[in-house]
C-alpha cells in the first residue's frame, strides 16, 4: 500500500517540508513549512554545518507534527551528474554491465566514488539501432551525508531524488493536459543553484544545474553598499516589496538590472547549448520556480531575450488546499519556494 512520505528539500537558504494526502480522487496539502538555514550551512549542495542543519530539521518537524518517518530527499549541484546516453546495447542485463564499464567515459569522476542509476528512455531501437538511456550518478559521500543526517534524527530516508526530476514530477502532476504536448524548460532559480530541465512532450532531454541564483543579487547589494550578507538580504527582500528607504532605489535598481541580466544570460546560454547540440524542437514555454525567480527583473529579462513565453510553475495547481488549515496568503507568497519539496512529496513509497 502506498504510504505518506515527507517531501524534504534542504536548500542553501532554507529547508522546505511538504506532506500530501493522496486519494484516487484528490490530492490535498497536509503540511507545509519553511525554516531558514544559517549562511554557509550548505555550499554547492554539500552539508557544511550538520549541527545547524539538524537543529533546523528538528524545528521543522516540530512545526508540522507528521506521523510518518519516511522521507524523500533530493540533491543537486556539482556532485550530481545526469547524462543522456545512446547505445546499441538493449538487453537489460547487458545494459547494466555496459553502463558500469563505460560510465567513466560519461562522467568526470571515478566510478567507485558514485552511486549509479539508469533508466531506458526509449524501449525500441531507432533507425541506427540505438536506444536512449538516462544515467544518473551522484557522489557517494554526499548521498551518505544526507542519509546519515536524516537517520540521526530518527527518520527513514526512503527516496533520494534529484531536484531536476522532482521539478518534472511537479509539472507532470499539476499540468497533466500540457505535459505530453509541450516542449518546455523548467528553471528553478534557488539561492546558489539553478536547476534546468528541458522536457519535450513529457520526456526529459537535458538536465543541468548551474551555480547561479538569488544569492548573486544579495552579494551584489552587499558589495556595493559594504554591508553584511544578512543586511543585504534584508534590503533585497524589503526593497523588492517596495518598502526600503535605506538605500537609493535608483542605484538599487541599477544593481538588479546588472545581476538580473547576468543570471538570465547564463540560463539562456545553457538552453542554447542544448539546442545547438541536440537540434531539438522549438520551446513553447519557460516555467519558472524557486525563490530567485521572485526577482521580477530576471523573469522579464528571460522573456525578452529568449522571445519565449514565461510562466510561473504553480506547484499547487492541482492540489487542494483547505483555507481553514493553511494561511493562503503565506502559500501564495512562498509556494514558489516549495516546488522541489512538492515534487518529492508526490513520490510514492511501498510499505
Ligand X SMILES: Nc1ncnc2c1ncn2[C@@H]1O[C@H](COP(=O)(O)OP(=O)(O)OP(=O)(O)O)[C@@H](O)[C@H]1O
Kindly list the residues in this chain that would bind ligand X in the complex (CB under 6 A).
11-14, 190-193, 213-215, 218, 233, 236-237, 240, 290-292, 294-295, 337
> Residue 45 interacts with Mg ion (CB under 5 A)?
no
Q: How far is the CB of 271 from Mg ion (least distance, A)?
A: 19
Nearer to ligand X, 157 or 290 (CB): 290
Closest C-alpha to 6, from 338, 291, 320, 331: 338
* 315 contact choice in ligand X, Mg ion, none (CB below 5 to 8 Å, kind-dependent): none
Q: How far is the CB of 290 from Mg ion (least distance, A)?
A: 6
Number of residues in contact with Mg ion under rule CB under 5 A: 2
Q: What is the 3-state secondary structure (H, E, C) of the chain?
A: CEECCEEEEECCCEEEEEEEEECCCCEEEEEEEEEECCCCCEECCEECCHHHHHHHHHHHHHHHCCCCCEEEEEECCCCEEEEEEEECCCCHHHHHHHHHHHHHHHCCCCHHHEEEEEEECCCCCCCCCCEEEEEEEEEHHHHHHHHHHHHHCCCEEEEEEEHHHHHHHHHHHHCHHHHCCCEEEEEEECCCCEEEEEEECCEEEEEEEECCCHHHHHHHHHHHHCCCHHHHHHHHHHHHCCCCCCCCHHHHHHHHHHHHHHHHHHHHHHHHHHHHHHCCCCCCEEEEECHHHHCHHHHHHHHHHHCCEEEECCCCCCCECCCCCCCHHHHHHHHHHHHHHHHHHCCCEEC
Nearer to ligand X, 34 or 155 (CB): 34
Q: How far is the CB of 98 from ligand X (least distance, A)?
A: 33
Stretch that binds Mg ion, among 47-55, 182-190, 256-264, 311-319 (CB under 5 A): 182-190
> Residue 11 interacts with Mg ion (CB under 5 A)?
yes
Alpha-carbon distance 351 to 295, whole Å? 42
> Residue 190 interacts with Mg ion (CB under 5 A)?
yes
* 7 contact choice in Mg ion, ligand X, none (CB below 5 to 8 Å, kind-dependent): none
* 291 contact choice in Mg ion, ligand X, none (CB below 5 to 8 Å, kind-dependent): ligand X
* 215 contact choice in Mg ion, ligand X, none (CB below 5 to 8 Å, kind-dependent): ligand X
Length of the chain in residues, anyone? 351
* 294 contact choice in ligand X, Mg ion, none (CB below 5 to 8 Å, kind-dependent): ligand X
Nearer to ligand X, 26 or 328 (CB): 328
Q: How far is the CB of 108 from ligand X (least distance, A)?
A: 22
Q: How far is the CB of 199 from Mg ion (least distance, A)?
A: 19
* 233 contact choice in ligand X, Mg ion, none (CB below 5 to 8 Å, kind-dependent): ligand X
Q: How far is the CB of 317 from ligand X (least distance, A)?
A: 18
Residues whose CB falls within 8 Å of the CB of residue 151, separated by 6 or more in sequence, listed in order: 157
Nearer to Mg ion, 45 or 157 (CB): 45
Nearer to ligand X, 202 or 238 (CB): 238
Q: How far is the CB of 233 from ligand X (least distance, A)?
A: 6
Q: How far is the CB of 292 from ligand X (least distance, A)?
A: 5
**Which set of grid coordinates corresponds to residue 62?**
516540530
Nearer to Mg ion, 12 or 183 (CB): 12
Binding site for Mg ion (CB under 5 A): 11, 190
Amino acid at each position: 500500500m502506498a504510504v505518506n512520505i515527507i517531501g524534504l528539500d534542504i536548500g542553501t537558504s532554507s529547508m522546505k517540508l511538504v506532506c500530501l494526502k493522496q486519494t484516487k480522487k484528490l490530492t490535498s496539502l497536509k503540511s507545509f513549512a519553511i525554516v531558514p538555514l544559517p549562511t554557509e550551512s550548505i555550499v554547492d549542495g554539500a552539508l557544511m554545518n550538520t549541527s545547524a542543519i539538524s537543529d533546523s530539521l528538528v524545528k521543522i518537524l516540530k512545526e508540522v507534527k507528521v506521523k510518518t518517518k519516511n522521507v524523500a530527499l533530493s540533491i543537486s549541484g556539482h556532485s550530481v551528474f545526469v547524462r543522456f546516453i545512446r547505445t546499441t546495447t538493449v538487453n537489460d542485463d547487458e545494459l547494466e554491465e555496459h553502463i558500469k564499464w563505460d560510465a567513466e567515459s560519461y562522467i568526470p569522476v571515478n566510478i567507485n566514488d558514485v552511486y549509479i542509476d539508469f533508466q531506458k528512455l526509449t524501449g525500441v531501437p531507432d533507425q541506427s539501432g540505438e536506444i536512449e538511456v538516462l544515467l544518473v550518478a551522484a557522489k557517494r559521500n554526499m548521498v551518505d551525508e544526507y542519509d546519515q543526517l536524516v537517520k540521526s534524527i530518527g527518520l527513514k530516508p526512503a527516496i533520494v531524488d534529484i531536484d531536476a526530476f522532482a521539478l518534472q514530477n511537479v509539472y507532470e502532476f499539476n499540468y497533466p493536459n500540457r505535459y505530453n504536448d509541450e516542449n518546455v524548460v523548467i528553471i528553478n532559480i534557488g539561492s546558489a543553484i539553478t536547476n534546468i530541465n528541458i522536457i519535450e512532450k513529457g520526456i526529459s532531454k537535458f538536465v543541468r544545474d548551474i551555480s547561479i541564483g538569488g544569492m548573486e543579487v544579495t552579494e551584489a547589494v552587499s558589495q556595493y553598499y559594504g554591508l553584511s550578507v544578512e543586511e543585504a538580504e534584508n534590503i533585497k527582500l524589503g526593497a523588492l516589496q517596495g518598502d526600503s528607504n535605506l538605500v537609493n532605489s535608483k542605484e538599487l535598481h541599477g544593481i538588479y538590472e546588472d545581476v538580473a541580466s547576468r543570471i538570465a544570460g547564463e540560463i539562456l546560454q545553457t538552453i542554447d547549448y542544448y539546442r545547438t547540440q541536440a537540434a531539438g524542437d522549438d520551446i513553447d514555454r519557460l516555467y519558472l520556480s524557486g525563490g530567485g525567480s521572485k526577482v521580477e527583473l530576471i523573469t522579464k529579462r528571460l522573456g525578452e531575450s529568449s522571445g519565449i513565453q514565461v510562466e510561473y510553475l504553480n506547484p499547487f495547481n492541482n492540489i487542494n488546499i483547505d483555507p481553514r488549515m493553511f494561511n493562503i496568503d503565506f502559500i501564495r507568497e512562498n509556494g514558489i519556494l516549495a516546488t522541489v519539496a512538492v515534487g518529492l512529496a508526490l513520490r510514492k513509497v511501498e510499505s
